């Protein structure tokens, strides 16, 4: 399977962010056998796991098999995903945090959540301080987060509250993305912070350790980490392409959830990260195998959507919980699954 990979398949994350631009266009088609089809405009954040999914969609031939082409826009955070959809620069955002979507819809944005993605959160609370061993030790400490009200901040607060740590008794410091938080933890500029599991097996190397009670996928499994959402205009005008794209992504989720994906996953990780060492890729792949975090049926339940809405309410991101029918449309996901069943049975 790895023979399908090409060196120019997907820009590395470093290349995507080169030049300091907030968003970098990855001019990729889906290697479709039907070049007349217009590409689906896909926007996602610059996390490696999301880029790996996109690389596998190409390299495993899932996009080509469904006659889907795409162009990727990689941005720095979820708010820029929303902006890309609202402006018409892209049509669908796949595998990104979506707590900002209900609030945007409430303010008049023509968006709909159309599928699940990565329901469990691959983040853990790390610290480089030997005196901090548990989340309960964080009272009075400085914790690295991203923007206030964004996903990492929300999940940090939810974790602290669950463990009985007074939120007003800690100091939050916005240091950026999860990777930036990890660097700050390793450097000792913050006492603790949530970071990705891809460094889970390299804690000693970086002089850090995970905290007892700090594995988010176990402590807050009801918080949905990522979803997929699209513009209403794209749903209306490019539905067929969106359904085909979702079907290809569903195939990726199923593939990487299986033990057969080990070699291909590591190779895709190397391509998008630009690194030859695949230790972190293997750590991430093992976590996927153990926890099955991807929504292989593309469905995102009303309960999960409303949990994010209620959390938004608590943080002042939303003023009211909206009816799910106003913010979500799972019919595209259902059509994508039917398309896959047709191909499988046909």
Q: What is the dihedral of CA 99, 102, 103, 104, to 10 degrees?
A: 110
| Rounded-to-integer distance, Cα 131 and Cα 119, Å | 32
3 state DSSP class of 70: strand
What pLDDT was estimated at residue 27?
34
179 closest CA partner among 32, 13, 42, 2: 13
Per-residue pLDDT for 3 more than 90? no
Q: What is the pLDDT of residues 92-106, one digit of tens each?
A: 999 998 999 999 999
**What is the pLDDT, as a whole number, of residue 325?**
96
Predicted confidence (pLDDT) at residue 15 exceeds the cutoff of 80: no
Give the tens place of pLDDT for each residue, 141-164: 999 998 888 889 999 999 999 999
Least confident stretch, 20-24, 75-79, 187-191, 315-319 = 20-24
Q: What is the mean pLDDT of the chain?
A: 89
Query: In the structure, what pLDDT confidence band is assigned to residue 37 with cuts at 50, 70 and 90?
Result: low
**Fold (CATH) for 123-219:** D-Maltodextrin-Binding Protein; domain 2 (3.40.190)
The mean pLDDT value for 204-224 works out to 97
Q: Is the pLDDT of residue 291 over 80?
A: yes
Residue 176 has pLDDT above 90, yes or no: no
State the average pLDDT over residues 74-85. 92
Q: What are phi and psi of 144, to 5 degrees?
A: -80, 135
Span 2-120+223-345: which CATH code? Answer: 3.40.190.10
Which pLDDT score is estimated for 32? 36
Listed by start position, the domains of the chain span 2-120+223-345, 123-219
CA 20 to chain centre: 22
Of residues 279 and 26, more confidently modeled: 279
| Residue among 2, 191, 3, 229 nearest 98 (CA) | 229
Q: What is the pLDDT of residue 346?
A: 62
Considering only the C-alpha atoms of the chain, give the largest distance between any 2 of them, rounded to a whole number of Å.
61
How high is the pLDDT of residue 29?
37
Average pLDDT over residues 57-86: 95
Beta pairing partners, 74: 24, 44
pLDDT surpasses 50 at 10: no
Round to whole Å and give the CA distance between 237 and 234: 5
Q: Is the pLDDT of residue 20 over 60?
A: no
> Does 178 score more than 90 pLDDT?
no
Question: Residue 329 pLDDT more than 60?
Answer: yes
Give residue-wise pLDDT tens across range 227-254. 999 999 999 999 999 999 999 999 999 9
Tell me the pTM. 0.87
| 2-120+223-345 and 123-219, same CATH topology | yes
The strand pairing partners of 229, in sequence order, are: 93, 113
Q: Which residues contact 252 (CB under 8 A, 6 or more apart)?
A: 53, 56, 57, 60, 62
The secondary structure of 318-338 as a DSSP string is: -SSPPPHHHHB-THHHHHHHH
d(CA 39, CA 72): 10
Give yes or no for a contact between 231 and 218, defined as CB atoms under 8 angstroms apart: no
254: left (phi over 0), alpha (psi -120 to 50) or beta: alpha
pLDDT value at residue 34: 40
Q: Give residue 76's pLDDT.
A: 85
Q: Mean pLDDT throughout 265-287?
A: 95
């Amino acid at each position: 399977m790895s023979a399908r990979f090409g060196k120019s398949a997907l820009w590395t994350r470093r290349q995507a962010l080169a030049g300091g631009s907030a968003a970098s266009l990855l001019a990729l088609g889906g290697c479709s056998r039907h070049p007349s089809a217009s590409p689906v405009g896909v926007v996602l954040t610059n996390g490696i796991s999301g880029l790996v999914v996109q690389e596998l969609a190409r390299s495993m031939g899932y996009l080509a098999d469904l006659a889907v082409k795409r162009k990727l826009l990689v941005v720095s955070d979820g708010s820029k995903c929303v902006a890309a959809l609202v402006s018409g620069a892209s049509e669908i955002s796949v595998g990104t945090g979506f707590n900002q979507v209900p609030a945007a819809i409430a303010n008049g944005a023509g968006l709909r959540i159309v599928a699940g993605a990565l329901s469990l959160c691959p983040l853990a609370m790390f610290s480089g301080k030997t005196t901090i061993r548990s989340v309960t030790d964080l009272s009075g400490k400085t914790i690295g987060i991203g923007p206030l009200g964004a996903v990492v901040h929300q999940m940090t607060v939810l974790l602290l509250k669950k463990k009985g740590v007074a939120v007003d008794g800690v100091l939050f410091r916005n240091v950026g993305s999860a990777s930036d938080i990890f660097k700050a933890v390793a450097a000792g500029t913050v006492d603790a912070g949530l970071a990705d599991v891809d460094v889970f097996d390299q804690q000693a190397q970086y002089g850090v350790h995970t905290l007892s009670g700090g594995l988010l996928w176990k402590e807050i499994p009801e918080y949905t980490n990522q979803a997929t959402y699209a513009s209403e205009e794209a749903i209306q005008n490019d539905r067929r392409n969106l359904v085909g794209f979702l079907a290809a992504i569903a195939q990726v989720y199923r593939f990487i959830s299986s033990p057969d994906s080990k070699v291909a996953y590591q190779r895709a990780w190397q391509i998008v990260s630009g690194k030859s060492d695949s230790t972190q890729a293997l750590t991430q792949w093992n976590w996927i195998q153990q926890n099955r975090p991807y929504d292989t049926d593309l469905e995102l339940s009303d309960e999960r959507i409303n949990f994010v809405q209620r959390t938004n309410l608590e943080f002042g991101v939303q003023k009211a919980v909206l009816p799910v029918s106003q913010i979500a449309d799972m019919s595209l996901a259902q059509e994508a699954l039917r398309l896959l069943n047709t191909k499988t049975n046909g």
